[in-house]
Amino acid sequence: MLNTKNKERNMEALRVYREGLKTVPRLRHLFLELTLRCNERCLHCGSNCGDVTSEELTASQYAKFLAEVKGDMGTDGKMLCITGGEPLLRKDFFEIMGSAHDLGFRWGMTSNGTLITPEVAKDLKRVGMGTISISIDGLEGTHDAFRRTPGGWQKGMQGIENLLKEGGFKAVQITTVVTHKNIGELEELYKIFNDMDIDSWRVINIEPMGRAKQHPDYLLTDDEYRYMFEFIRNKRIAGEPVTYGCSHYLGMEYEREVRDWYFICTAGTYIASIMANGDITACLDIERRPEFIQGNILRDRFKDVWENKFQIFRRDLSDSNEKCKACPDVKYCHGDGYHCWDFDKNEPQLCFKDILF
């Protein structure tokens, strides 16, 4: 619908820019996985949270690490993204984030919202939280069943209300993972969220990774993908702050139309992550394989790792797949996102070719 010539021009510029990023990466988002503990057990969890042992760094180790990053790389243009598990399960959460705030880091987080009481909302504001994304994965029954947490929907919605009531945050976002079970609820969810004072609603599809691989009945059909993207686009046509996520190349028709930017996987070029045990990797959504661990903050200096390693992420995945190499969209898709790649079969786990374009 939007001007395709403009899209091609912008995507070509982005392609050139991405080539530059491979050789001169710029850290913009530093993900901190504070814990793998979680008070919910979502069927689609990419980190298998709750089912794995969580070795966690201490608050002082985080403080030392962040001070080192600030000293080596500065805080300008960088944002900490706090995730887990459920980060608020850490008793020393506010100590850790207080240190980050005192050092001058901007930060945001993801949460299921169940632990956000009015006092917690107040403390989040006190320690400088800028943005937050709360997961709501359907209407009440669907959400509770999907996350295997009775009462989770009510608590999550209440957490959002507490944040909105506290106010003063840059953005409060709701994220919904669309599955085969909840795709029929999007309109109802829209009506509910439209009445709330949130800043945006991120609608993303379930990915065949983590625990979701054990539940293929939750994956979307081709028609359901199309429905979801048309839903997002039509809301955006009407000026609503609904957006798709960062994943996947969507083809010329949907690129720029379901999100405010074009596809680019920035794992290892813009994004680095620190796992709960201190291991350094690119994106926490990527399958956890030994070859992706680039170091550990307890023994390595992060700046050195960022500048001298990460080569495994600073390449095109399409180079290792003949079908991708032959695809006319490869120059924009470059093999799609890292977290969507099957590294055993060397092919994308989910490709929207023949679905969307």
Partner 1 sequence: MKKTDKTAITAALFAAAMGAAAAGGGSADAAGMSEAELSLAKFSAVYGPPPDYYYTDIPVTTEYDPFEVVPQPDYGPIYIYTTTAAAPEETTPVTELIPQPAYGPMWTVPVTEEVQTTAVTAVTEATEPVTESVTEMIPQTAYGPPLIVGDLTGDGEVDTFDFVRMRSLVSSLIPNNDSVKMYCPGADMNGDDDVNVADLVTLGRYVIGRPVTIVFRGTPRRFNEGSEYNRIPILDEDGNYVYDPFDPLPQPAYGPPIYVDPVVEPSTLSPEDMRAQPVYGPPNDYIVDPTEEIPTKFIEEPTFQAVYGPPSYFGLEDK
Select the span of 88-96, 186-194, 273-281, 333-341 touching partner 1 (CB under 8 A).
186-194
Q: Does 5 bind partner 1 (CB under 8 A)?
A: yes
Q: Does 4 bind partner 1 (CB under 8 A)?
A: yes
What span, in angstroms and rounded, lies between the C-alpha atoms of 23 and 311?
9
- In the complex with partner 1, the residue whose CB is nearer, 6 or 58, is 6
Task: Identify the residue among 146, 193, 249, 338 touching partner 1 (CB under 8 A).
Answer: 193
Contacts of 46 (CB under 8 A, 6+ apart): 207, 209, 210, 211, 212, 284, 285, 339
Supply 102's token pair: 């005192």
Answer yes or no: are the C-beta atoms of 146 and 181 closer than 8 Å: yes
Q: Does 223 bind partner 1 (CB under 8 A)?
A: yes
Q: Does 222 bind partner 1 (CB under 8 A)?
A: no
Q: Does 326 bind partner 1 (CB under 8 A)?
A: no
Contacts of 87 (CB under 8 A, 6+ apart): 34, 35, 93, 109, 110, 111
Tell me the closest approach of the beta carbon of residue 195 to partner 1, in angstroms: 9
State the burial class of residue 222 (Cβ atoms within 10 Å of its Cβ: 0-12, 13-18, 19+): exposed
Supply 257's token pair: 């139309």
Tell me the closest approach of the beta carbon of residue 225 to partner 1, in angstroms: 10
Within 10 angstroms of residue 352's Cβ, the number of other Cβ atoms is 23
CA distances from residue 352 to 80, 336, 340 in whole angstroms, order as listed: 31, 9, 11
Q: Does 201 bind partner 1 (CB under 8 A)?
A: yes
Q: Does 216 bind partner 1 (CB under 8 A)?
A: no
- In the complex with partner 1, the residue whose CB is nearer, 58 or 194, is 194
Q: Does 197 bind partner 1 (CB under 8 A)?
A: yes
Contacts of 27 (CB under 8 A, 6+ apart): 73, 78, 270, 272, 306
Tell me the closest approach of the beta carbon of residue 250 to partner 1, in angstroms: 15
Instruction: Sketch the per residue contact string, 236 through 275, with partner 1: x for CB under 8 A, - otherwise.
Output: xxxxxxx--------------x--x---------------
State the burial class of residue 346 (Cβ atoms within 10 Å of its Cβ: 0-12, 13-18, 19+): middle
Tell me the closest approach of the beta carbon of residue 139 to partner 1, in angstroms: 16
- In the complex with partner 1, the residue whose CB is nearer, 1 or 326, is 1
- In the complex with partner 1, the residue whose CB is nearer, 121 or 172, is 172
Q: Does 12 bind partner 1 (CB under 8 A)?
A: no
Q: Does 3 bind partner 1 (CB under 8 A)?
A: yes
Tell me the closest approach of the beta carbon of residue 232 to partner 1, in angstroms: 9
Select the span of 2-10, 90-98, 321-329, 331-339 touching partner 1 (CB under 8 A).
2-10
Tell me the closest approach of the beta carbon of residue 173 to partner 1, in angstroms: 10
Select the span of 68-76, 152-160, 185-193, 299-307 touching partner 1 (CB under 8 A).
185-193
Residues in the interface with partner 1 (CB under 8 A) total 32
253-279 b/e (C-beta count within 10 Å ≥ 16 → b): bbbbbbbeebbbbbbbbbbbbbbbbbb
Tell me the closest approach of the beta carbon of residue 241 to partner 1, in angstroms: 5
Q: Does 2 bind partner 1 (CB under 8 A)?
A: yes
Binding interface with partner 1 (CB under 8 A): 1-6, 186-187, 193-194, 196-201, 223, 226-227, 230-231, 234-242, 257, 260
